[in-house]
A and B are shown apart, each in its own frame.
Chain A
Amino acid sequence: GAVVSQHPSWVICKSGTSVKIECRSLDFQATTMFWYRQFPKQSLMLMATSNEGSKATYEQGVEKDKFLINHASLTLSTLTVTSAHPEDSSFYICSASGGNTIYFGEGSWLTVV
C-alpha cells in the first residue's frame, strides 16, 4: 500500500540553528502534502499546505518565514524550522493524498535545547 515516510524520526538541535524534516511519498505521487504539528497531550494542528511547484499555503498564526516549506517534486516536501527555539519543540507530521484516502508519515520529534 501507499506509504509516506518522514526523516529524521528524532532530532535534537541547538537553539538558534535550523533543522530540516523531509516527507516522502514512497510509491505514489502527491501534488499536495500537509504539515501538522502536535504539542504534548494535544491534538494535531494543520500548519500549512504544501503544493508541488508553488508556494505553500499557511494556516493563520503560522509564521511562514520561520517554517519554510518546499515541495520541489511530486514525492518530496520539506519543512525547515529556522532559528529554532525551545518552544518549537514538538511532534511534526506530514500527510499526502493517495487515491481516496490520506496517508500520514511516522512523524518527527524535534527537541530544541
Chain B
Amino acid sequence: GEDVEQSLFLSVREGDSSVINCTYTDSSSTYLYWYKQEPGAGLQLLTYIFSNMDMKQDQRLTVLLNKKDKHLSLRIADTQTGDSAIYFCAERPYNFNKFYFGSGTKLNVKP
C-alpha cells in the first residue's frame, strides 16, 4: 500500500497554534484527509482536500498541501484542551475507496 508518515507527538499550550505534519508517497490524483480520534472513540472527519488544491480553511482549521514535496499539514488556531486527541492523516487514491493511514500524531494541549 501507500506510505503515509506522521510525527508521533506534539505538545502545545492552550491558545497557541498547532501544526501537524504528514508526508505521503502516492503521486497520482488523490484525496487527503485529516481525522481526529479521541480516547476510546471512533474517527471524526475534520476536513479533506483534493490534490489539485493548495489550501483549505474551515474555521480554526487550515490545511496546506505541497504537492511537489507530497507534504500535508493541519494547522489548528487557538488550540484548546478539547483538541487533545490523536490526529490521523489519510490518503485515498482517486479511483479507490481504500484509505491509507499515517501512524497518528498525539496532540497534547497544556492548560
Contact = CB atoms under 8 A, between A and B. Distances in A.
Sorting the interface of chain A by its residue count into under 10, 10 to 19, 20 to 34 or 35 or more gives 20 to 34
Interface stretch (A13-21, A68-76, A78-86, A93-101): A93-101
The secondary-structure label for the interface of chain A is strand
Contacts, number: 49
A44 B41 contact: no
B101 interface: yes
A104 interface: yes
B48 A106 contact: no
Interface in A27-47: 32, 34, 36, 42-46
Nearest to B104: A43
B34 interface: no
Contacts of B43: 44, 93, 104, 107
A95 B103 contact: no
Interface string B44-59: 0100100000000000
Interface of A: 6, 32, 34, 36, 42-46, 49, 93, 95, 97, 100-107, 109
Interface of B: 1, 31, 35, 40-43, 45, 48, 88, 92, 97-104
